[in-house]
Amino acid sequence: MSFESFLFVLTGGVVLGALYALMAAGLAVVWTTLGIFNFSHGAFVALGAYIGWQVGNVDGFALGHVLGLSATVLGMFALGILFQQMFIRPFERKENIVAATVITTLAGATVLQNGMLLIWGPRSKQISGIGEGSLNIGPLAFSWNEVALIVLVAFILGAVGWFLSRTRTGRSMRAVSQNRQAAELMGLNVPLLYALAFGLSAAMAGVAGYFVGSVRFINPTMGADPLMKALIVVIFGGIARFTSPIYAALIVGLVESFTTFYLGLYWAPAVLFAMMMIVLTIKPAGLFGTHQRTL
């Protein structure tokens, strides 16, 4: 393998890692606060991409990237809250919430996917790149689209991290995730915080979808593969801190990139899943994790 192809694989890994980080962080926000795994996260990714395409792209309303991305964020935030009220709220206090929400979020994903199929049809769409040309830093070559993606992801993750650790609402959210009863006794509005957490997670998925839509084709099931990767990331890194899925995402992105190059397309996912199972068996709380539910 030449040095150039090594660098090519490396940049590919970083871009993948950034996307996975955005998805995994969104999954982790819901997991840690509500204590459930959201299987419709992949459908959220696709829905975010469709909304962005509809508003921003020339074949849609042609309002440009800024408005397209804003519509994705706001639309997915609202839809996320609606989704949570419909599919998760009724089971919040039930004993079997974990199993029940697996089926309801899967059902929700079915509803969303078929809804997208009905609205936008089966034909694949694509969001035009955010920038054209490429940026060369020494031997490293990033397209401007990838640069924008990495910068925006870093910015969004930084902003969400700041929100969770510095603002009153964000801290309340972490408090709820640590101890619901105590948080309720302190007068926190738990249903509202749950809704906000879910909306935030959906918005992050939507943004991830917007970016995926600019590098791959948009179709209702486009989120399935990134969801599986995000699942690996979340388990691999653990959810002890908000930053742990981010590091793990980079590792997973790089591993995927390199195994794809060396072992071929089909083997990469198997290696990742095997890696995840080994981590889970040896250190169930994840690579960076302590066995505690918090943000």
Is 261 one of the binding residues for another protein (CB under 8 A)?
no
Beta bridge partners, 125, equal: 218
By CB under 8 A, name the one of 98, 135, 182, 186 that touches another protein.
Answer: 98
Classify burial at 159, counting beta carbons within 10 Å of its beta carbon; exposed 0-12, middle 13-18, buried 19 or more.
Answer: exposed
Is 93 one of the binding residues for another protein (CB under 8 A)?
no
CA dist 117 and 14 (Å) reads 32
Nearer to another protein, 66 or 118 (CB): 118
Q: Is the CB of residue 256 less than 8 Å from the CB of residue 205?
A: no
Beta bridge partners, 141, equal: 136
Is 108 one of the binding residues for another protein (CB under 8 A)?
yes
By CB under 8 A, name the one of 87, 198, 242, 247 that touches another protein.
Answer: 87
Nearer to another protein, 37 or 144 (CB): 37
Nearer to another protein, 68 or 209 (CB): 209
Is 99 one of the binding residues for another protein (CB under 8 A)?
yes
Q: Is the CB of residue 43 less than 8 Å from the CB of residue 225?
A: no
Between the two ends of the chain, the Cα-to-Cα distance in Å is: 40
Q: Is the CB of residue 83 less than 8 Å from the CB of residue 17?
A: no
Stretch 187-226: interaction string toward another protein, x if CB under 8 A: -------------------------------------x--
CA dist 233 and 259 (Å) reads 16
Is 103 one of the binding residues for another protein (CB under 8 A)?
yes
HSE of 138, CA atoms in CB hemisphere, 13 A: 4
Q: Is the CB of residue 140 less than 8 Å from the CB of residue 11?
A: yes
CA dist 250 and 87 (Å) reads 32
Min separation Cβ 235 and another protein, Å: 5
- Token pair of 46 as six digits: 């696709």
Min separation Cβ 39 and another protein, Å: 8
Stretch 269-288: interaction string toward another protein, x if CB under 8 A: xx--xx-xx--xx--x----
With CB under 8 A as the rule, give the number of residues binding another protein: 46
Report the SS3 class of residue 8. Answer: helix
By CB under 8 A, name the one of 1, 78, 117, 182 that touches another protein.
Answer: 117
- Footprint of another protein on this chain (CB under 8 A)? 31, 35-37, 39, 86-87, 90-91, 94, 96, 98-100, 102-104, 106-111, 113-115, 117-118, 224, 228, 231-232, 234-235, 264, 266-267, 269-270, 273-274, 276-277, 280-281, 284
